[in-house]
Structure 1
Amino acid sequence: MLPAGWLIAAVFVAILLTSWVTFTLTRLDRLHARVDAAQSALDAQLVRRAAALLQLAERPDSTLAPDAAHALVDTARAALAVQHWQQDERRNVENQVGRAIAGLQQDRARLPADAVTELAEAAARVVIARRFFNDAVRDTRTLRARRMPRLLHLAGRRELPLFFDIEDTSVFTDSPAIDRGPGTTPSPPT
Structure 2
Amino acid sequence: GRVEGALTALDAQLVRRAEATLELANSGVLDPASALLLAGAASESLEAADERHTGREAIESDLTHALELALSPDALAHIAQEGEIGEAALARVAAASQRVQLARRFHNDAVTDVQRVRRKRVVRWFRLAGHAELPQTIEFADELPLLERSG
In structure 2, what residue type is equivalent to 1:73? A
Give ranges in structure 2 of 5+ residues lacking alignment: 80-85
* Equivalent residue in structure 1 for 2:103, among 116, 123, 129: 129
Q: Conserved in 2, the CA contact under 8 Å of 1:117 and 1:174?
A: no
Shift of 1:85: 4.1
Looking at structure 1, the residues matched to 5 and 72 of structure 2 have their Cα atoms a distance apart, in angstroms, of 31
Residue 18 of structure 2 aligns with which residue?
Answer: 50
- How far is 1:174 from its partner? 4.7
2:46 equivalent among 56, 62, 80: 80
Which string of whole-angstrom CA distances, capped at 9 and with x for unpartnered residues, describes residues 60-101 of structure 1? 3x1x222221121110000000125445x1100000111112
> What is the percent sequence identity of the aligned residues?
38
* Distance (Å, rounded) in 2 between the aligned partners of 1:114 and 1:54: 13
Matched, 1:160 2:126: no
Query: Given the alignment, which residue of 78, 89, 97 partners 1:110?
Result: 78
Structure with higher helix content: 2
- 5 Å-filtered alignment, 1:1-190, equals 33-60=1-28, 62=29, 64-82=30-48, 83-87=50-54, 89-103=55-69, 104-106=71-73, 107-111=75-79, 112-171=86-145, 172-175=147-150
Q: Residue 100 of structure 1 aligns to which amino acid in structure 2?
A: A
Rg comparison, structure with higher value: 1
Amino acid of the structure 2 residue aligned with 1:156: G
User: CA 1:95–1:157 in structure 2 vs 1: closer, same or farther (change >3 Å)?
Assistant: same
Which of the pair has the greater relative contact order for Cα pairs under 8 Å at 6+ separation? Answer: 2
| Structure 1 unaligned residues grouped into runs of 5+ | 1-32, 179-190
Q: What SS does the aligned partner of 1:169 have? A: coil
How many residue pairs get aligned? The number is 141
TM-score scaled by structure 1? 0.70
Match of 2:83 in 1: none
Letter of the 1:90 counterpart: R
Moved more, 113-122 or 65-74: 65-74
TM value normalised by structure 2:
0.86
How many Å separate the matches in 2 of 1:75 and 1:167?
Answer: 14
